[in-house]
Structure 1
Amino acid sequence: MRGFDDEERERIEEELVETGRERLVRYGPAKTNVVDITEPVGIAKSTFYRFFDTKAELYVEIYRREVAEFAEGTRAEIDEADSSREGLEALFRSYAGWLEDNPFVQRMVVQSDYRSFYQDVPDETMEAIQREGLAEFEAVFEPLREREGGLREDVETIELLGLLSLIGLLVIHREEYDNYNASYYERVRDLLIETLARGLVG
């Protein structure tokens, strides 16, 4: 079996990630198989497993990149805020908008039972991803901690991520709110964001 040099490996991995993302957004995870991803890249199905042990690990890599891109963009928004409270509101609104508008996140998190697709990912891989995510968001929250009147000292990053999850749950159940009233979801979302931001500053 022919090996790949570093440049080829990098190119193929990037193409697998890009093609995988496009196929997952278009067809969803349940209707996307490995061949759907490898054929456009021009490699055999068996070669896929030289890059990712499972299809789920490809999903994880795509999601990891989406999170890193979101965190980077959000840091810029927080830097422009005049206060920690405004920075928190910017973060929470950005996160809600990311869940609402990002097509990959919509497919994998909002419209699907994402947990079932990650069952094949080894525990150590998931733990590493969680550590990376924690570090990504610690870098997001750190400027808010350093400002005068900033984040409450008793609130840890993992707890802030838990509060982001509350916003995520609201987005996942958006349809139920929309069925009640056309503007109900937006009103509840905005009130939640304002209340969380107000309660988290010292």
Structure 2
Amino acid sequence: MRGFTEEEKIYLRTQLLEKGRSFFSVHGFKKTSIKDLTNAVGIAQGSFYLFFQSKEEIYFRILEEEEEKIKSIITRQLPSAMTAKTFAAFLLSGIQLIQDNPFIRQLFFEGELETLIRKLPKEIVEEHIHKDTDLLAPLLDSWGIKDKQEQDIVSGAIRSFFLLAVHEKAIGNAHYDQTIQFLAEAIADKIFARRMNDD
């Protein structure tokens, strides 16, 4: 049996990601098998491992793609004249996009995020975190937050805010909206108070 050409590999990897997005969004991580994905694409189950190390990895790669779409949208929404109020609104807009995304919503609904991260190779998770920090670095730099350690802390705070979507039940449905509003304003106020002090 002949192997796949490079063009076929690119096509099949894209197809696996597309089918995975569809299956995971509808059925969730646990109820979707590698065989479901390979059958949908029309390749042998063993061929899956030419493209991904595990079901966890393909799931995480799709999650990254969905996050990139959201980042692209919210980055375009950033106003040129940023204030604490507009930055808080930016954070709230971002978390709403996360909650409205069917793939990410399924991940949060199943409560699989922590399990997924534990099963992934450490370098994949670290690479993902660095990407987030690198994306925010120019913005933070323009706000006078130039120290690398401080940038990591602020990026971590923003990343943690967006992960609040996982904990809606723990926070309490009755107070969830008010809680994220409060935290968005607190993060924004902290960042912009620092800017005023530096100025």
TM tier relative to shorter chain: 0.7 to 0.9
| Divergent runs of 4+, >6 A | none
Q: Is the 8 A contact 2:98 2:104 kept in 1?
A: yes
Aligned to 2:186: 195
* Alpha-carbon spacing, 1:124–1:193, altered in 2? closer, same or farther (3 Å): closer
Aligned residues: 192
Residue 163 of structure 1 aligns with an amino acid whose one-letter code is A
- Give the secondary structure class of the aligned counterpart of 1:53: coil
Give the CA deviation at 1:178: 5.0
**TM-score with structure 1 setting the length:** 0.82
Inter-partner Cα distance in structure 2 for 1:117 and 1:128: 15
* Alpha-carbon spacing, 1:4–1:52, altered in 2? closer, same or farther (3 Å): same
Deviations 1:113-139 (A, max 9, x none): 32223444322333333323322333x
Counting only pairs closer than 5 Å after superposition, residues 12-23 of structure 1 correspond to structure 2 as 12-23=12-23
Residue 68 of structure 1 aligns with an amino acid whose one-letter code is E
Q: Percent identity over the alignment? A: 26
Q: Is the 8 A contact 2:38 2:45 kept in 1?
A: yes
Structure 1: runs of 5+ lacking an equivalent: none
Counting only pairs closer than 5 Å after superposition, residues 23-102 of structure 1 correspond to structure 2 as 23-78=23-78, 80-102=79-101
Structure 2: runs of 5+ lacking an equivalent: none
Inter-partner Cα distance in structure 2 for 1:118 and 1:191: 28
Inter-partner Cα distance in structure 2 for 1:133 and 1:26: 27
Q: Is the 8 A contact 1:77 1:87 kept in 2?
A: no
* C-alpha RMSD over aligned residues: 2.4
Aligned to 2:152: 158
Inter-partner Cα distance in structure 1 for 2:3 and 2:86: 48
Residue 101 of structure 1 aligns with an amino acid whose one-letter code is D
* Alpha-carbon spacing, 1:129–1:171, altered in 2? closer, same or farther (3 Å): closer
Aligned to 1:8: 8
Counting only pairs closer than 5 Å after superposition, residues 85-124 of structure 1 correspond to structure 2 as 85-124=84-123
Q: Is the 8 A contact 1:145 1:151 kept in 2?
A: yes
Deviations 1:9-39 (A, max 9, x none): 1111111001111111111111111011111
